[in-house]
Structure 1
Amino acid sequence: MELAFLLIIFMVFFVGSDFVMNVVIPRMKGNFGERRVAAKLRRLRKRDYIVLNNILIPSGQGSSQIDHIVICSSGVFVIETKHYKGWIHGHQKSENWSQTIFKHHTRFKNPIRQNWTHIFALRKIHPNFQKLKYYPIVVFSGRARLKNVTSELPVLYLWQLVRYIRTENHQNRLSPSQMLWIAETIKSTKFKKKKGSKKP
């Protein structure tokens, strides 16, 4: 932790504060949040669930980076992770959501919309993927408080995630062999990174 702090100080003074504050630090926070979610998902039994983390697949002219995918007998859970603090406000149909820390307000892309772009990209991988049941989830892994979030789709705290997945996994749509085929098909989908491609 001390080494990471010293690295940030070095980058602020020698690389450029704008780049560090707007690109490096948010990316570090995102990676930390994704690691926390991945650790939580390891509590799912391997014989019942297949977990894929940090998946990059083609999407139109670019790519779609999916934080986490959980495959089970009921279908495919697609998880968008946000590692934020403060109060979170947003509506499922809004273009942007907002984060409030005291009197400071920051806007960020609607994570529900982001997650739907991931699902659309998954559906295009293989014709059979069109028939799958998808469960989009947004999970906040930091110290955020969902003060004014309106959504018919699940927007959860990290501690709620595993319990929600287990609760929703109650239908036998997929056999173990089908689950494995889906996971291997996703992993084998090659993406050739193009200049300027980034997470939507």
Structure 2
Amino acid sequence: MIPIAIGTEILKSPWFKGKFGEFFVNFSAKHMLNPNTYHLIKNVTLPTDDGSTQIDHIIVSKFGVFVVETKNMKGWIFGNPKQRMWTQKLYKHSSKFQNPLHQNYKHVQTLVSVLGLNDDQVHSVIVFVGDSKAELPFRSLIFDVLV
């Protein structure tokens, strides 16, 4: 019984949910994007002035470099681009999390700096994986993916 209980707790953990969401995006990108046009790089850590930043996925193509931040969440997601924190509402429970646009902005700027690219060559993409519904006042490069 103890191994089952431990396994159940691991499956429910934020760490596992994050890893599963990243796996799902990796799997989808490898199977849905033409490998002659797109190159997937996953789990990249880059140095910053205040430490480091970890990028879930980078997709390089002739169309530009896409920096992908993955969020595996349930419930309703509320926020706007200028808010520092967004809200996840699951039934009667609400919790705050860092605005993924702000999070990915740091990733994009770090990549631009490290590679010497122009801002217009690098694109920020946020992917929500899981049973969530993003109620956002915009839709630019934010995707809901149901698993």
Query: Normalising by structure 2, what TM-score?
Result: 0.88
- The yes-or-no answer on 1:120 pairing with 2:119 is no
CA positional deviation for 1:151: 3.1
Q: Contact 1:92–1:152 (CA<8 Å) still a contact in 2?
A: no
What do residues 130-156 of structure 1 show as CA deviations (whole Å, max 9, x unaligned)? 36611111110111011x212363211
**Matched length:** 144
The 5-angstrom pairing of residues 37-186 of structure 1 reads 37-42=25-30, 43-127=32-116, 129-130=117-118, 133-146=121-134, 148-151=135-138, 153-158=140-145
CA positional deviation for 1:6: 3.1
CA distance, structure 2, for counterparts of residue 101 and residue 145 of structure 1: 11
1:190 paired residue number: none
Query: Normalising by structure 1, what TM-score?
Result: 0.66
Unpaired segments ≥5 residues, structure 1 = 13-19, 160-200
Higher strand share: 2
Q: Contact 1:52–1:70 (CA<8 Å) still a contact in 2?
A: yes
CA distance, structure 2, for counterparts of residue 136 and residue 60 of structure 1: 21
CA distance, structure 2, for counterparts of residue 118 and residue 4 of structure 1: 38
Higher helix share: 1
1:32 paired residue number: 20
Structure 1 counterpart SS, 2:86:
strand
CA distance, structure 2, for counterparts of residue 4 and residue 37 of structure 1: 29
Q: Which has the higher contact order (CA 8 A, sep 6+)?
A: 1
Q: Contact 1:37–1:158 (CA<8 Å) still a contact in 2?
A: no
Q: Contact 1:76–1:132 (CA<8 Å) still a contact in 2?
A: no
CA distance, structure 1, for counterparts of residue 33 and residue 121 of structure 2: 19
In structure 2, do the counterparts of structure 1 residues 64 and 71 end up closer, same or farther at CA, with 3 Å as the change threshold? same
In structure 2, do the counterparts of structure 1 residues 131 and 86 end up closer, same or farther at CA, with 3 Å as the change threshold? closer
Question: Radius of gyration: which is bigger?
Answer: 1
In structure 2, do the counterparts of structure 1 residues 123 and 100 end up closer, same or farther at CA, with 3 Å as the change threshold? same
CA distance, structure 1, for counterparts of residue 80 and residue 105 of structure 2: 14
